[in-house]
Chains A and B, each alone.
Chain A
Amino acid sequence: MSVIVFGLVQLVPGDPIRLALGTRFDQETYDALLARSGLGQPLVTQYFGWAGRALTGDLGVSFRSGETVTSLIAERLPATLTLAFASILVALLIAVPLGTLSALRPRSVVDRVATVLSQIGISVPEFWMAIVLILVFAGTLGWLPSGGYVPLTEDPGGWAQRLLLPAVVTGVVSGSVITRFVRSSVLEALGADHVRTAQAKGLPTRQIFAWHVLRNALLPLVTVTGVQLAYLLSGVVVVEIVFAWPGLGQLALQAVQSRDYPVLQGAILLFAVVFLLINLVVDLLYTAIDPRIRR
């Protein structure tokens, strides 16, 4: 994996040193910078140097800022974690009730409204939704700040106020995706043989629903939530930019733009690890939810 991460980043066209110099070019300054950055060495040497240090937790130093990559990531991790989990919370609060309701009454008014809403949620550009929310809630109404981030430990009220709008925007998008999964998996579970059997046995509807439908519908929900969470944890660039949210997405974007290889490699490596971890957690949850998988 580390080879892929390293290789991918090196494949991005564009010379970071030239970029750091801007359009003004001066051979001596260029050579001095090249020597300092270590980019003049053969790629294989660079790779083993990087991979070896990465194993010990040293991801190198940013070309642009001179800061260590680990400190850059650590600085932005809390903001990203906060937004990702808040968004998933919003998403589930939207998706589970809405999806279940539509599945219980397929083709009813509720179902149709839910379908339209989730379609809108998926297709409205995040950028646009974010700007509209800022203009309304920070501009016209003046209820919330227009963006930014303060740590929870510093100012819990300000933290919550600033978190609300970005979490709603990303939550609505993720929630719209999840709603459709909830609807189809609940529908499928409702039509399963064991549910018909349970109904035939005369079990109370509530019990059937809780034990036989929801539990079976939970597996796809956990999967899709895991995927959404991994996506959110790798940074939601557009929302971060509009709301001035200092997350990993902005860091990665800046690193791409300036060809800051060490930061980019560090960020991609982190995203890959996050993805693996979430998959692991999802798999573990499977066994907790469905005892058959344990065997």
Chain B
Amino acid sequence: MRSTRSLPVVVAGVLLVSACGGGGESVDTGAGGGGGGGGGDTLVAAVSAQPDQFDPHVTTAYPSFQVLENVYDTLVVPNAEDLTMEPSLAESWETSGDGLTWTFTLRDGVTFHDGSEFDAADVVYSYNRIIDEELSNSFRFQNVADVTAPDPRTVVITLSQPTPNLLERIGSFKGMAILPENAADELDLTTEANGTGPFRLESSDASRTVLTAYEDHWGGAAGVGGVEFRYITEPAAALTALQSGEVQWTDNVPPQQIESLTGDDTVELQTTPSVDYWYLSMNYARPPFDDRDVRRAISFAIDREAVAEAAWFGAAQPNQTAIPEDSFFHTDYAPFQPDPDQARQLLEQAGVQTPLTMGLMVTDEFPETVTAAQVIASQLEPIGINVEIETLDFATWLDRQGQGDFDAFYLGWLGNLDPAAYYQEQHQTDGPNNYQGYSNPQVDQLLQQGATETDETARKQVYDQAAQLIVDDVSYLYLYNPDVVQAWAPGLSGYQIRADKAINFETVELP
């Protein structure tokens, strides 16, 4: 799964073959509650790109996490159904009355792939590594004052302020993986791994990454003997490989073929709305986009359904708020129906001279944004807004976003699990990802309240209020949630498609 907040950069690096920390050849899988005892068969999965590296605390690339998901564990993990947090390496936890002390009881009998025992010192080491080295996920610990291990089975996290979403912060993806103590000194973590997950990292080169089942995995041995991730960038080639039986699983399905594949009995295709959202945002520092009426006019002029259809061939669900319906924090609010007349009226009210020119920055890193921008341009033209589409490569795009050099831009946020993270960073005054420059004291106050409210129902109400203001003010013009689309060989069992796009092969069994 992709790092919660970073839009991944499509993979860049390469990994050299390297066996992972050997050893640990013990037997006895009898007690395993999991799959069928790891037959000799290997599942071949076609993924679209090569992992850049395998250090879970350093990488931000989705292809790396596709692999790491199967190699490492976190204290808690998102449940496959509704993405609420459930036990993993931590068996249970307690929160003190003031919400400042969280005590985790760790699972017994967990071993790393080299055979060494997992204990609380490993957790303390892993978290401190992220904090002390200011690695890309250190922001997740910004409220954490201290991580200690009073005994080998207990970890205590002390906070500087109540953090109701702490579990999401430490468990939403394998970027928060638990490494064995001193792993960074003993291994080259960019190419080697020593985790507690169902598979060990065997080798990786410019064509494939190979995992083998870890027989002593605490959840029982995996249902397959191993997994080979093969990098096939071109979707048509990946689909051909699946249909001809060269691979048994892929997430690289050409979106325009989803419809025709649905009734096809040579592949099993499944989709589910993701917790990713794509949005358009305008620059509050550039008139006339600082005018709420102008932004609302644009929101009224856009037909989200048509944009989703063009960008994803219908494999996306239009949404006027951030996350999809089946998520706990979904806000049911849709005040903007396509209405060009109202849009024109709002522009007039704002005193805007039409035609008005608006630059819209998109990136070819995500080609669907380019298509969507063309649809948006055609929808805004009738109300007198001339959209100049600027297609940039991602590095330049990010630079200009950072410098505030844009009228409007179009992008997405992936893997959004908890509103404390995404609303606060994107919409709070001077929030780290508030590139548009939105500032509404009322929203700020609600977001502050939500960040410390420990009662879930009350929290949800607070965020619902904030979300409505954000939508009304058009801080983000939310557009849609794309579907997760994955396909596999008929007869492959035990695989579950997930809204957070985590790919876990632990329970998969081959036909």
Contacts and interface: CB of A to CB of B under 8 A. Distances in A.
Interface of A: 12-16, 18-26, 28-29, 31-33, 62-67, 71-72, 75-76, 79, 131, 134-135, 138-139, 142, 145-150, 241-244, 246, 250-251, 254-255, 257-260, 263
Residue from A19, A76, A131, A145 whose CB has the most chain B CB atoms within 10 Å:
A19
Contacts of B398: 14-15, 18-19, 22-23
Interface in B1-55: 3, 5-17, 50, 52-53, 55
B458 interface: no
Contact of A18 (B5, B15, B399): B399
Contacts, number: 199
Contact of A263 (B3, B13, B230): B13
Interface in B222-250: 230-234, 236-238, 240-241, 243-244, 246
Contacts of A254: 10-14, 50
Nearest to B58: A66
Given A139-B240, A147-B232, A65 B7 contact: no
Given A32-B133, A242-B234, A76 B206 contact: yes
A67 B394 contact: no
Contacts of A255: 12
Contacts of A63: 12-13
A146 B44 CA distance: 14
A64 B13 contact: yes
Nearest to B191: A67
B395 interface: yes
Interface residues of B, number: 61
Contacts of A147: 232, 234, 237, 241
Contact of A246 (B52, B205, B399, B432): B205
Contacts of B154: none
B402 A25 contact: yes
Contacts of A149: 206-207
B399 A146 contact: no
Contacts of B425: 24
B348 interface: no
B5 A65 contact: no
A114 B453 CA distance: 77
Interface string B50-65: 1011010010110000
Nearest to B247: A146
Given A64-B52, A135-B236, A139-B243, A244 B207 contact: yes
A63 B12 CA distance: 9
Contact of B237 (A12, A76, A146, A251): A146
Interface stretch (B87-95, B134-142, B294-302, B324-332): B134-142
A150 B14 CA distance: 17
B12 A14 contact: no
A129 B399 CA distance: 37
B42 to A, nearest CB: 15
